[in-house]
Structures are given as structure tokens and as C-alpha cells.
Chain A
Amino acid sequence: MNPKKAIALNKKKQRQKLIEIGIVLGLVFIFAVILPILLPGFRLRLLGRILSLSIVALGIDLIWGYTGLLSLGHGIFFALGGYGLAMHLKLQLPDGQLPEFFTLYGVRELPWFWYPFYSFPVTIMAVIVIPGIVAGLLGYLVFRNRIKGVYFSIITQAALLVFFNFFNGQQKLINGTNGLKTDTETIFGMLASSDLAQKTFYIITVIALVVVYYLCRLLTSGRFGRLLVAIRDDETRVRFSGYDPTGYKVLVFAISGAIAGIAGALYTVQTGIITPKFMEVPFSIEMVIWVAVGGRATLIGAIIGTLLVRLGQTFLSESFPEVWLFFQGALFLIVVTVLPDGIVGWWRDFAWNKLRHILGLQKRIITYPSLEENPEVIQEKAELEEN
């Protein structure tokens, strides 16, 4: 490649980067500043919930879209994050008092694992680290034995069921089926359901989404990201090239779990309660379909997919509650069979070209069907002209 061309390419890249940063900043401005003014409180709360769900979707895209690991158990990590923050809120009490549900079961002393959650910084750490560690451990035990594909999926599903059973059955530890209510608790002296608190949660959600998005960008570009794609495409080859895929998979699964934990915590405070229901099987599979709708292996697709599906669900299930399940089932079928690359993939591979074609612009070349566009031919031509 000659230096002139390289500089031109570099400039183009820089310009693209600037445009992208502009778009992201604009979106953040709309979501963080304009929408809170325009939308009534309960709608904003809904939007905040959806945005926090799109954070999990990013985590799932990271492992499914890029690394090819389909987890049907992300509800575990989501709920762990939620429980962490909810426990902190439950402990906003005068000294020596226990959260009221304990008295119902005759528990006098706070279970040991509640103590760290008195401290806010520790809670924030725990919300991220605990789901990450649980995911990493589960991942290690499974990946180490080269269990993958559908086996991995159904093992994560079984793990989900197990966690559900555990949280559901342990009234004396974590209030069982009833879950932990956060709406009536205070955080920093503020009622968690008050408008100000909710608005703050919303803004934090928007910021967290941007941060997580850039984290995922960082992970999926560069060598690490390319290695994830390589693992997805041909794991055996990766091994024979001298990489140990297990470590990479464990790390990326743990990161994905930690992301789900953050999302769960944000979702919980904007819902007002966390119960073991967050770990039901359908919810975790639903998370996967958000990614599929938006488009796998495109981070922006995960966010778009979540927004579309959740908004659609809100309106449809409000107006036709019985048929919603039919719609959802059909959505799974349609996305998998007709739109395997999701909306973003469809736009990139098909609609964009079609649009350019209609506007009379040249078709973008993905391969080089004609001689004039073959890079080898172009290079030779350029060399001939130079001489």
C-alpha cells in the first residue's frame, strides 16, 4: 500500500470516528436530557427499565454473537446483581434493626452474607463482581471439559432453574418467593420510588449503557475480539494455533455475567422489587431474542433489538394480553428463519444496497465479481501506470 493511500485511509477512519462520537453524544443528549423533560414519570421509568435490559443484551451479544456461546441462564447473573442492590436498600435501617420480613420467619440474627451489603461501595463492587465470579466459575467448570454448543445452552438453563429453586425456597435467608421490595426503601436518605431518585437511576442507566457499550467495543475490536470470532468459527483451529480457548471463554463469560449484574441492579431499582421470577426460564430466553432481532455480532443491534421488542411487548401486551404469547412465539420463529442476521444485518447486507440502488448510487462491492475491481488487477494497473 502506498503512503498516500494509507494517509487517505487514516483520515477517512478518523472522520468516521468523529461522526460516530457525534452520533453517540447526540443520542446520549436526547436520552439523558430531552426525554426526561418530555416523558411523564412512569413512562420514563419504563424506558429506564428497557435501557437497563439492553445492557444485558450487550452482554449476551458479547458471548453469543461474537464467541458463539448461547447462554440461556443469564437471568442468574441479572438477578444476582438485582439482589445485591436490593439487599443494600433493605439494610437502610437504624442500628440493630432487621429488615421486617425476617421477623415473619422468626429470624433474630442477620444471615452472615448480608453484612457486607451495609456499605454502599462494597455493594456496588458486589453487584459487578459476584455475578462475574459465579459466571466465571460455572464457565470454567463447563468449558474446561470442552462442553459447548447446545450442551452448554441446556446446562446454563439447568443452572438457571437451580438458582431459581434456591432463591425461591430460602425464605429465611432471602425472603423466598416474595422477593425484596425496594420501592419503599431509602437510598442516601431518598425514597427509592421518589421522582428524583428514579430520574437519577434513569440517568445512571443511560451512562452505564454508554460505558458498557464502549467496553464491549473495546473487547470486540483488536486481537482479543478477533480471537473471540475465531473461537466461534473454529475452536479446534484456535487450539492448534497455540491458544487455550478455555481461558478466553471463561473471561468473556464472566464479563458478560458482570454486565448482566449491573443491568439487573439498575432494572431492580426501576421496577421496585426483585423476586426469583427474574430467574424464570422464559425471561432468560427472551433476552437472547432481543439480540437476535437486532442482529448478532453487532453491538448496536443488541440495543436496537431490545428497545424494539420491549416497546412492542409493552404496547401489544397492554392491548391484547392473550395473543402476546402467540406474537412472541412467532417472533422467535420469524427471526430465526427469515432474518437470521437481525435487523442490523438485514440493513447492512440488503436494504442499504437496495436504497443506494433506488437512489441511483453505485452498489457497494463486497466481493469483486468483475476484473476491474479485483485488487490484484488494480494494483498491477497502478504499477504499470507508474512506470
Chain B
Amino acid sequence: MNKVLEIENLTVNFDGFKALNNLNFSMDSGELRVIIGPNGAGKTTFLDVITGKVQPTQGRVLFKGRNLKKIPEYKIARMGIGRKFQTPRVYLNLTVRENLDLVCNHNKNVFSTLFNRPKSGEIRTVAGLLETIGLEAKAESPAALLSHGEKQRLEIGMLVAQSPDLLLVDEPAAGLTDEETENVGALILSLAEAHSIIAIEHDMEFVRQIAKNKVTVLHQGSVLCEGKMDEVQNDPRVIEVYLGKAPE
């Protein structure tokens, strides 16, 4: 099976503080991988490096075999990596439909955006997506009026509209009610059928819901262990970093 993402000896150094330390990671295409780890383990920095927001101090990131070094964020996004942020980031002053339409645009050059009208295919994609994320009825209201859970769904919808090969999802369940969490989980699982996904999550309930394959645990900037959810949960090292060392 071919690898969608390979990371070799990755180190990110912020003025002496190593946010990522000699990290090695790889995942197959079509895989849904969940990454967990205590606060400050470097999870978000990990995503920052993949999406090109932060340049690695050492090591390299290969996406479908291509080195991502020094490629600007927008090009990485066009190559097929989509990212969802920790707090939902949608364009609050645009309507739900406009939000999706912007991302759906196939040719993102300045002049084609200015002169080309939306293609009928794109309009249909947007309509389909509105249905998938269940926001049809609110398509014409500004995103600022959506609830937190609706914004999360909209942002995931925007990710899909980008039709990426690799989806990076940063804490999709943060701040949601149980019911909403389950909705989002189902949405991610259905997306996993067609995309490779990396999900970062804290909520163990949620992790159990979505983690069908491997789970990776990050700690102090490197991979602590990797394996099925059950194995990872019983790994003494993982218990230690989450709960601290048991008193002798």
C-alpha cells in the first residue's frame, strides 16, 4: 500500500524550545489516524508543519512522495491537504452557501476568480454539501448566526469542498454537546471512506468512536507509541504521561 504521508526525523525549534523532537511518522492512504497526547505534546505544531505554517528546523515531510519543504501554505492546500482548526474558523460575514462556494472554487487564481462565473458543477457540489452537513435550511443566513456545533459542521463541509486527499482535523469535538459530538463523529467516519484523515482529539469517548485503526500518542514532541486503541490505553508509558507516575 502506498503512503500518503511520511515524516522523517522532524524537529521544530522555537528559540531553544523543541516543540517537535526527532519525530517519525507515516500513514497509509485511506487511513483514519487519531493522534492523542497531553497538552504541550506538540500536536498542533505537528499540523502546522504539515500545512506549511511552520517550517521544520530539521527533517522532512513527504506528502504522496513529494517533499513539502518551503512550499507556501496555499500551494500545499491546493496539492490536497485540508485543515480544520481547533476553534471553528469560518467567514462570519458570509452566508453558509457563500462560505462553501468560496472553497469549492476550482481555479483559485486571482483573475479567474474575478472573471469566471461559478460553474454549474460547483453549484451542484455546494448544494450536495449543504445536505450532507445538514445546513440546507440555513444556507442563506450569515455564518455568524450559527451555533458552535453548526460552525464545526460547516467547517468540515468546507474542508470536503476543497476535495483534499488528506484531511487534518484538530479537536473537532471541542465544546460540543454529546449529541453534536456523535453527529460530528459519524460525519468523520463517513468521510473516512473516501479520504485519508488525521484527527487530533482529547475526548477519549470520541476517540473510541472514531478510532477503528491505529492511534498515535505524542509526548514531548515525539511519538510515544502507536497501535490499536486498546493496546495504547493499556500501555504503561501512556498511562504515566497522562496520569503521572504511580506512587511507589
Instruction: Note whether A and B contact each other (Cβ less than 8 A).
Output: yes
Q: List 10 A-B contacts (CB under 8 A).
A: A227-B113, A229-B91, A230-B102, A237-B90, A242-B103, A243-B108, A244-B75, A245-B74, A248-B113, A251-B110
Stretch at the interface among B81-89, B196-204, B217-225: B81-89
Neighbouring A residues of B162 by C-beta, 8 Å: 241-242
* Contact-residue bracket for chain B: 35 or more
Please determine whether A233 and B91 come into contact, CB atoms closer than 8 angstroms: yes
A348 sits at the interface (CB 8 A) = no
Please determine whether A375 and B141 come into contact, CB atoms closer than 8 angstroms: yes
Produce 1/0 per residue, B146-182, CB < 8 A to A.
0000000000001000100000000000000000000
A364 sits at the interface (CB 8 A) = no
Bound: A375/B141 CA distance, A: 10
Neighbouring A residues of B113 by C-beta, 8 Å: 223-224, 227, 243, 248
Bound: A378/B141 CA distance, A: 14
A234 in complex: contacting residue of B51, B72, B91, CB < 8 Å: B91
A317 sits at the interface (CB 8 A) = no
Shortest Cβ distance from residue A144 to the other chain B in the assembled complex, whole angstroms:
10
Bound: A244/B92 CA distance, A: 20
Q: Which residue of A lies closest to B116 (CB)?
A: A223
Please determine whether B72 and A244 come into contact, CB atoms closer than 8 angstroms: yes
B24 sits at the interface (CB 8 A) = no
Given known A-B contacts A233-B91, A367-B145, A242 and B74 have beta carbons under 8 A apart: yes
Please determine whether B137 and A379 come into contact, CB atoms closer than 8 angstroms: yes
Given known A-B contacts A240-B83, A242-B74, A223 and B105 have beta carbons under 8 A apart: yes
Produce 1/0 per residue, B20-47, CB < 8 A to A.
0000000000000000000000000000
Neighbouring B residues of A234 by C-beta, 8 Å: 89, 91
Task: Give me the 9 closest cross-chain CB pairs, A-B, nearest first.
Answer: A242-B77, A376-B137, A375-B137, A247-B110, A242-B78, A244-B74, A239-B73, A224-B114, A230-B91
Produce 1/0 per residue, B187-228, CB < 8 A to A.
000000000000000000000000000000000000000000
Supply 9 further A-B pairs (C-beta < 8 A) apart from A242-B74, A244-B72: A223-B113, A230-B94, A237-B85, A240-B74, A242-B108, A242-B162, A243-B113, A244-B108, A367-B145
A243 in complex: contacting residue of B74, B90, B94, CB < 8 Å: B74
Q: Which residue of B lies closest to A233 (CB)?
A: B91
A226 sits at the interface (CB 8 A) = yes
Bound: A245/B51 CA distance, A: 16
Shortest Cβ distance from residue B38 to the other chain A in the assembled complex, whole angstroms:
26
Neighbouring B residues of A244 by C-beta, 8 Å: 72, 74-75, 108
Neighbouring A residues of B136 by C-beta, 8 Å: 379
Neighbouring A residues of B90 by C-beta, 8 Å: 237
Produce 1/0 per residue, A237-265, CB < 8 A to B.
10111111101100100000000000000
Bound: A244/B71 CA distance, A: 12
- Which A residues, 355 to 387, have Cβ-Cβ distances below 8 Å to chain B? 367-368, 374-376, 378-379
Q: Which of A223, A378, A379 has the most CB of B within 10 A?
A: A223
B93 sits at the interface (CB 8 A) = yes
B118 sits at the interface (CB 8 A) = yes
Neighbouring A residues of B51 by C-beta, 8 Å: 240
Please determine whether B137 and A248 come into contact, CB atoms closer than 8 angstroms: no
Q: Which of B108, B109, B117, B141 has the most CB of A within 10 A?
A: B108
Shortest Cβ distance from residue A338 to the other chain B in the assembled complex, whole angstroms:
22
Bound: A39/B21 CA distance, A: 76
Neighbouring A residues of B53 by C-beta, 8 Å: 236
B103 in complex: contacting residue of A241, A247, A368, CB < 8 Å: A241
Please determine whether B105 and A239 come into contact, CB atoms closer than 8 angstroms: no
B64 sits at the interface (CB 8 A) = no
Shortest Cβ distance from residue A243 to the other chain B in the assembled complex, whole angstroms:
5
Neighbouring B residues of A368 by C-beta, 8 Å: 141
Please determine whether B158 and A241 come into contact, CB atoms closer than 8 angstroms: yes
Neighbouring B residues of A237 by C-beta, 8 Å: 85, 89-91
Please determine whether B92 and A233 come into contact, CB atoms closer than 8 angstroms: yes
Bound: A15/B158 CA distance, A: 33
Bound: A249/B61 CA distance, A: 30
Please determine whether A223 and B118 come into contact, CB atoms closer than 8 angstroms: yes
Neighbouring A residues of B92 by C-beta, 8 Å: 233
Please determine whether A375 and B110 come into contact, CB atoms closer than 8 angstroms: no
Shortest Cβ distance from residue A37 to the other chain B in the assembled complex, whole angstroms:
40
Bound: A367/B77 CA distance, A: 34
Neighbouring A residues of B91 by C-beta, 8 Å: 226, 229-230, 233-234, 237
Q: Which residue of B lies closest to A252 (CB)?
A: B110
Neighbouring A residues of B118 by C-beta, 8 Å: 223
Q: Which residue of B lies closest to A9 (CB)?
A: B140
Bound: A239/B72 CA distance, A: 9
